[in-house]
Amino acid sequence: MKPTSPIYVTRPSLPPLQELIPHLERIWESRFLTNGGHYHEQLEAALCRYLGVEHVALFANGTLALMVALQALELTGEVITTPYSFVATAHSVLWNRLDPVFVDIDPRTMNMDPAGIEAAITSRTTAILPVHCYGHACDVDAIQSVADTHGLKVIYDAAHAFGVRLRGESLLRHGDLSVLSFHATKVFNTFEGGAIVCPDAATKARIDLLKNFGIVDETTVSELGLNGKMSEFNAALGFLQLDHVDEAVRQRRVIDATYRSRLAGVRGITCLESVDPAGKNCAYFPVRVEDDYPLDRDGLHERLREHDIYARRYFYPLISSFPMYAGLPSADPKRLPAAVDAAARVLCLPIYPGLTQEEQALIIDLIERV
Ligand code: T4K
C-alpha cells in the first residue's frame, strides 16, 4: 500500500501564517530589512534564553557560520574532523585554506572517536571539528581533555543539536564555539539560517565583524570578512518558531518512541540512541540495517521508495570519498572502517511533527514485512 502523498525524511515546521503577518507588517513599516535590525536582536536574545547560553551570533546559514567560526579562531595547519557528516563540515575547513584530517567514528555513537583524534594529532594540528551527529552528543569530556593536553581549539558542528541537553545542561556550552543550522530540514528552522554560540562578548563582537565584511565603521574595514548576515524576515520567522519548538520536539519524541517499541522486535534492525536520551531533540531517526535483516540498507531504502517513502542515507557517501578529499592520506577507507560500515548500513527514517500515526504504521509495517 502507498501513502496518499509521498512521505519524506523530514518536513519543515511552520508557524501559523496569521501569526507571521503582524511581524511582516512591522518589517514593511520600518523598512529595516537586514544588517542587524529589531528581529535580529530579538531572536539573538530569545535564543540565548531558550538554549541556556550567553551569546549567540545569527547567520544566513549554518555553512557560513562554520566558515566564520573557524576563521574567528585564527587557525592554521590541520583540523581534525569526521568523514561521517554532511559535506559542509569539511568544506568549511577547506574554505579556510586549512587541511582537514579525517579520523574514524565510534560505531556505537557515529561520533568521532576521541582515541582516534589523539592519534591523528601532529605538530600542525590546531583544532578539532567534531559533529554531534543526529543531535547525539559527542564524548565532550574526552574531546576536551585531548584538546587541553595538546592546546587545541574545539569547534562543535552542532547543526543537528538544537536544544539538546547533556546531563541537564545545554550541549552547546561545550568547546570553544558551537555552530547551529536553522535550515528548513532542522528541528528549529528560519527557512535558511544558522548561528554561532560564543562563550563571551568579545568573541561574539569579532564574529559579528567577520559576518559583516569586516566593516568597523563607514570608512574602516579591518578584516577579510564575508556577508553572513541573517535578514529580518528570517529572524522574525525564527522568533515565532521558538514558541512552537517545544511542541515540535514533543511530537518528535512520540514518533521516536513508537519506532523504538515497534522496531525492537524486528531482527536485523538496530535503532541508534543518544548517550543522554532525556536531553535529546529527536532530529533524526537513524537505524542500522544489520546482516541478519533480509535486505541490505540500499535494498530497504529502495523498497521504501517503491512505496513513496523517502528515507535518507545520511551520511552516504562519506565526505572523505568526494574528489576534493579522496586523495588525502586520512581519507583512505582502510583507515576509516567504522565510518565506511556506518555509511553502508544507516538509514534515517521519516520523523517530523505532522507525520501521522497511519503513515508511521505504514513505514513500520513495510520494514517488518520484508
Ligand atoms: N553541518 C551538518 C552536520 C549538517 O547536517 C548541515 C546541513 C550543515 C553543517 C550545513 O548547514 P546549512 O548550511 O544547510 O544551514 C539537507 C539540508 O539541506 C542540510 O541543511 C542538512 N545539513 C542536510 C543533512 O540535509 P538534503 O540534500 O538532504 O536536503 P533535501 O533538499 O533533499 O531535503 C530533504 C527532504 O526534506 C526532502 O526530501 C523533502 C524535505 N524538504 C526539504 C526542504 C528543503 C521539505 O519538505 N521542504 C523543504 O523546504 O540536505
pLDDT value for 349 = 98
Among the listed residues 156, 160, 194, the one whose alpha carbon sits nearest the alpha carbon of residue 176: 156
Q: What average pLDDT does range 185-194 have in this prediction?
A: 98
Q: What average pLDDT does range 197-204 have in this prediction?
A: 98
Report the distance separating Cα 59 and Cα 74, nearest Å: 19
pLDDT value for 3 = 87
Which class in CATH covers the domain with range 17-241? Answer: alpha beta
Cβ of 12 closer than 6 Å to ligand 1, yes or no, is yes
What is the position in ligand 1's atom list of the atom closest to the CA of 9? 35
46 pLDDT more than 80: yes
Report the distance separating Cα 131 and Cα 112, nearest Å: 8
Cβ of 189 closer than 6 Å to ligand 1, yes or no, is no
The C-alpha cell 592520506 sits at: 329
| Start and end residues for every CATH 3.40.640.10 domain found in the chain | 17-241
**Averaged pLDDT score across all residues of the chain:** 97
The protein residue whose alpha carbon is closest to atom 37 in ligand 1 is 8
Cβ of 81 closer than 6 Å to ligand 1, yes or no, is no
Q: What average pLDDT does range 218-234 have in this prediction?
A: 98
CA of 162 to the centre of ligand 1 (A): 15
The protein residue whose alpha carbon is closest to atom 25 in ligand 1 is 185
pLDDT value for 370 = 87
Among the listed residues 267, 284, 236, 226, the one whose alpha carbon sits nearest the alpha carbon of residue 65: 226
CA of 182 to the centre of ligand 1 (A): 10
Tell me: the pLDDT tens digits for 111-153?
999 999 999 999 999 999 999 999 999 999 999 999 999 999 9
What is the position in ligand 1's atom list of the atom closest to the CA of 192? 15
Predicted TM-score (pTM) of this structure = 0.98
What is the position in ligand 1's atom list of the atom closest to the CA of 131? 3
Classify domain 245-369 at the CATH topology level. Answer: Aspartate Aminotransferase, domain 1 (3.90.1150)
Tell me: the pLDDT tens digits for 230-262?
999 999 999 999 999 999 999 999 999 999 999
1 pLDDT more than 80: no
Cβ of 181 closer than 6 Å to ligand 1, yes or no, is yes
pLDDT value for 87 = 98
Helices first, then strands: H and E counts in the chain: 13, 16
Cβ of 313 closer than 6 Å to ligand 1, yes or no, is no
The Cα diameter of the chain in Å comes to 68
Q: Which three cell numbers stand for residue 126?
A: 590546531
Q: What is the DSSP letter of 326?
A: H
Among the listed residues 9, 57, 18, 3, the one whose alpha carbon sits nearest the alpha carbon of residue 306: 3
CA of 221 to the centre of ligand 1 (A): 34
Tell me: the pLDDT tens digits for 319-332?
999 999 999 999 99
Tell me: the pLDDT tens digits for 277-298?
999 999 999 999 999 999 999 9
226 pLDDT more than 80: yes
Q: Which three cell numbers stand for residue 93?
A: 575547513
How do strand 346-349 and strand 285-289 relate by DSSP bridges? antiparallel
Cα 299 to chain center, whole Å? 27
pLDDT value for 102 = 98
189 pLDDT more than 90: yes
CA of 323 to the centre of ligand 1 (A): 21
Q: What average pLDDT does range 23-45 have in this prediction?
A: 97
| Start and end residues for every CATH 3.90.1150.10 domain found in the chain | 245-369
Cβ of 352 closer than 6 Å to ligand 1, yes or no, is no
pLDDT value for 106 = 97
Q: Which three cell numbers stand for residue 342?
A: 556506518
Q: Name 369's Cβ contacts closer than 8 Å, sequence gap at least 6.
A: none
